[in-house]
């Protein structure tokens, strides 16, 4: 699995910090107006709401995810991804270590 890299982008130096620093990301802006966030999730369980549909790609580490409105626990490891509907949410659990991700906002 190759690690994603991005060219010709602008990155917000100010971090998005959630859950007392247990989840941290930076926003990456592309020339076409699209954006992604890249970040780290430390061990713990967290719930996020979505406005737009999202794709979460796991770059390193492991997590378990439950999408809002479901009870199915889905394990996702490095190289995997999960999609979240707009105006919805998900609970993500990292049991040990750090989970690294890229979040793409889908149209």
Percent of the chain with pLDDT over 70: 98
Closest residue by Cα to residue 81 from 55, 107, 52: 55
Residues with Cβ < 8 Å from 97, sequence gap 6 or more? 43, 61, 62
Q: What is the rounded distance in angstroms from the CA atom of residue 24 to the CA atom of residue 19?
A: 9
Locate the domains of the chain by residue range.
13-105
Confidence of residue 5 (pLDDT cuts 50, 70, 90): confident
Q: What is the largest CA-CA distance in the chain?
A: 40
pLDDT at 48 exceeding the cut of 80: yes
13-105 carries CATH number 3.40.50.300: no
* Separation between Cα atoms, residue 39 and residue 24, nearest integer Å: 5
Condensed to tens digits (0 to 9), the pLDDT of residues 65-88 reads: 999 999 999 999 999 999 999 999
Q: Which band of pLDDT confidence, cut at 50, 70 and 90, is reported for residue 1?
A: low
Task: Name the average pLDDT for the chain.
Answer: 95
- Please, are residues 38 and 101 in contact by the beta-carbon 8 Å criterion? yes
| Predicted local distance difference test score (pLDDT) of residue 4 | 83
Distances (CA, A) of 53 to 2, 14, 81, 88: 24, 23, 13, 8
């Amino acid at each position: 699995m190759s690690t994603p890299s991005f060219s010709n982008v602008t990155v917000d130096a100010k971090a998005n910090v959630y859950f007392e620093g247990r989840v941290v990301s930076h926003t990456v802006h592309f020339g076409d107006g699209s954006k992604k966030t890249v970040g780290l999730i430390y061990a713990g369980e967290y719930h996020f709401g979505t406005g737009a549909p999202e794709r979460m790609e796991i770059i390193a580490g492991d997590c378990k995810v439950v999408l809002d409105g479901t009870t199915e626990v889905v394990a996702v490891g490095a190289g995997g991804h999960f999609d979240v509907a707009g105006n919805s949410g998900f609970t993500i659990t990292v049991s040990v270590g750090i989970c690294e991700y890229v979040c793409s906002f889908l149209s």
